[in-house]
Structure 1
Amino acid sequence: MTGQRSDARRNRAHILAVAEAEVAAQGAQASLERIARVAGVGSATVRRHFPTRRALLEAVFKQRVHDLCERAHALRDELDSRAALVEWLRELLAYSLAARGLADVLSYQPLQEQSLQDEADQDSCAPAIGAAGALLLRKAVDDRTVRPDLTVDDLLVLIVGIALATEHYSDPAPQADRAFRLAVAGFGVDVPTGA
């Protein structure tokens, strides 16, 4: 029994490593069949470990999302709450551009429509990112440095939209940065060029 569990863990880790490479190259639509083939396992084995494409993508981005959440906690104590929020959103956008497919994971459904009772949702990317962003947004709203009607969903839609709209540019960063600055100006945060 123990041998089977360690084999299963090794299989899952190997499938995940292959999936990370495929998602980096192909984005969220990376072929599950190709992942299985490259990993040297059957499609059923991939689906046993990751029953849906979303489950696979969530696993691929788990560490990146953890890092972003930690960063939000670190920025929470900054004196300039507006700058802290903008810096974190910029980092989320940069991650989303660099990690093809992350924007797809974040765009499945609005946070308020997700059941927090569902264990899978509690461990998924969007609620974790939403909770981290809410820390920074709440402080900025309390400090009156951003519009009080902003929600975390508004911010995620902004980042996901920019990332998805620019992902096929040969160099998406400049266009994404321009769109980000234009959008951020709309919610009351002035972001100078190159800031």
Structure 2
Amino acid sequence: MVVALAGNGSRPRRADARRNYERLLEQARAAFTESGVDASLDEIARRAGVASGTLYRHFPTRLDLVEAVLAERIGELVDLGRGLLDADDAFVAVSTWLRAALAHALTYRGLAAATMSAALDGGGGGAAAAWHAELFEVGSALLVRARHAGVIDGAADDADVLKMVGAIAWAVQDAPEPSMRAERLLAVVVNGLRPH
């Protein structure tokens, strides 16, 4: 049996290659949860029961592996934002999405810095940059809608607001109880968006 590898864009792979790919993703998720996105790639390969060369054939760089692990979550975040564009309360919609974006950025220690850096230099085959653009588009649409509804300050800059979410995730990643601290900081940002 031959199947195509998701996110790879190349030729179809045998079923055993697909199993290796899935085991690597599963072990990468576990390792990133335990140690952040700087977890040892050799250890991920060992835990998946494959040689390091197999990991590097599937994921030539660390960012390729991070992107593969994140692909599904990014899609969910984009879909959530698009769904919220039809919500009755534009302020609740934008604050709900910003909270979800922050939770995503806090998923793995080091994620905010790794993906922001990749988006800025267009690394990782362009996936990180493309995701950044898609997330910005959705977040910006929610902010524009809230601005037009008069529920956020007209001077609130979309890029600044969205960068603050990433900055909060980066600032609290090594703090005790990062989720609680992040929620408090996000509340300051969200409350600051209200018209004066």
Q: Per-residue deviation at 1:72?
A: 0.7
Alignment of 1:109-124 (within 5 A): 109=118, 114=122, 120-121=126-127, 124=130
Tell me, which stretches of 5 or more residues in structure 1 are unaligned? 191-195
Match of 2:134 among 120, 124, 128: 128
Match of 1:184 among 160, 168, 190: 190
Higher RCO (Cα < 8 Å, 6 or more apart): 1
Equivalent residue, structure 2, for 1:46: 55
Change beyond 3 A, Cα 1:11–1:109 = closer
Equivalent residue, structure 2, for 1:160: 166
Change beyond 3 A, Cα 1:32–1:109 = closer
Equivalent residue, structure 1, for 2:83: 74
Q: TM-score, normalised by structure 1?
A: 0.80
Alignment of 1:141 with 2:150, yes or no, is: no
Equivalent residue, structure 1, for 2:6: none
Equivalent residue, structure 2, for 1:6: 15
Amino acid at match of 1:131: E
- Structure 1 segments of 4 or more deviating over 6 A? none
- Over the residues paired in the alignment, what is the CA RMSD in angstroms? 2.9
Q: Are 1:105 and 1:125, in contact at CA under 8 Å, matched by a contact in 2?
A: no
Cα distance in 2 for partners of 1:47, 1:156 equals 33
Q: Per-residue deviation at 1:184?
A: 2.8
Offset from partner CA, 1:6-28 (integer Å, 9 cap, x none): 22211111111110100111111
Q: TM-score, normalised by structure 2?
A: 0.80
Cα distance in 2 for partners of 1:7, 1:28 equals 26
Q: Are 2:172 and 2:178, in contact at CA under 8 Å, matched by a contact in 1?
A: yes
Q: Are 1:58 and 1:125, in contact at CA under 8 Å, matched by a contact in 2?
A: no
Equivalent residue, structure 1, for 2:46: 37
Offset from partner CA, 1:123-154 (integer Å, 9 cap, x none): 85323322322321231233343344545432
Change beyond 3 A, Cα 1:64–1:78 = same
Cα distance in 2 for partners of 1:106, 1:147 equals 28
Change beyond 3 A, Cα 1:54–1:151 = farther
Cα distance in 2 for partners of 1:109, 1:150 equals 25
Match of 1:16 among 15, 20, 25: 25
Match of 2:176 among 140, 164, 170: 170
Tell me, which stretches of 5 or more residues in structure 2 are unaligned? 4-12
Percentage identity across paired residues of the two chains = 34
Equivalent residue, structure 2, for 1:93: 102
Change beyond 3 A, Cα 1:94–1:141 = same
Moved more, 56-65 or 178-187: 178-187
Cα distance in 2 for partners of 1:96, 1:65 equals 10
